[in-house]
Amino acid sequence: MFKNVNIDDFEFLKVIGKGHFGKVSQVRFLRDKQIYALKSLKKSKLYEEKDLQYTKSERKILALLNHPFIIKLRFAFQNLKKLYFVMDYYNGGELFYHMKRQEIFTESEAKFYISQVVLAIEFLHSKKIIYRDLKPENIILDKYGYIKLTDFGLAKVENDKDTVANTLCGTTDYLSPEVIKGEIYGKPVDIWCIGILQYEMLFGIVRNHLL
C-alpha cells in the first residue's frame, strides 16, 4: 500500500465530470502507472454551503466498502484548498447515458442491471448505510457492462442513537412518499428508488428536473 500520497503523484489526463463543489478527472498514478478517477472538492465551497459534514461522511463510508458493484476508494488526501478522493476508473459510462440512448431496456437487460443494484444496496443495508440517492447518474459501468455504484455524498450511517432520518434530499422523481412528507424514514427509501429505476429501464426516462 502506498503511503504519503499527494496531488503531485498524479498526472491529469482529462476532466470527465464537473459539479458545484469540484470535478472528477481521469488521472495516472505516477508510482504504478495505473489509471484512476480523481474527485477534487473545493473546501471554500463546502464551507460556504455547509456541506463539509456530508463530505466527511462520504469519506468515512467509502473507506468501509468493499463490494464488486460499488466503487472502491483507493486514496484520500487534502491540501490547503481541496479535498481529494481517488477511486478506480471505469470507462463504460453512466447508466443514465445508456438509458437515454437506448430509451427502453428489454426485460432481460433490466433484470441484469437491477439484480446488481439490489446486491449493492443489500450490502449497504447490511452495513447500516442508507444510500438515499439511487439514480442512473450515480451508476457507472465497467468495460464488461457490470455496474459500480458511486457518489456517496448523501449516504447516511445508522447508529444506535440515530436509526432514522428526516432530511429532504435526493432526486425529485425518486423520492419516496415519507421523504416528500418530511416524515422519519430508513432503509426502505432505497427500495422505493430501486422500483423507480426499474420502471424507467422498462418504460423510459421522463423526468427532467432534479432536487
Catalytic residues: 133
**Joined grid coordinates for residue 210:** 432534479
Other Cβ atoms closer than 10 A to 34 = 13
B/e letters for 91-108, b = 16+ CB within 10 Å, e = fewer, are: ebebbbebbeeeeebeee
Half-sphere exposure (CA, 13 Å, Cβ side) for 156? 19
Helix (H, G, I), strand (E, B) or coil at 32: coil
What are the φ/ψ torsions at residue 48 (nearest 5 degrees)?
A: -60, -40
Angle, CA 17 vertex, CA 104 and CA 197 arms, to 5°: 30
How far, in Å, are 49, 59, 64, 98, 169 from residue 21 at the CA level? 9, 15, 23, 26, 17
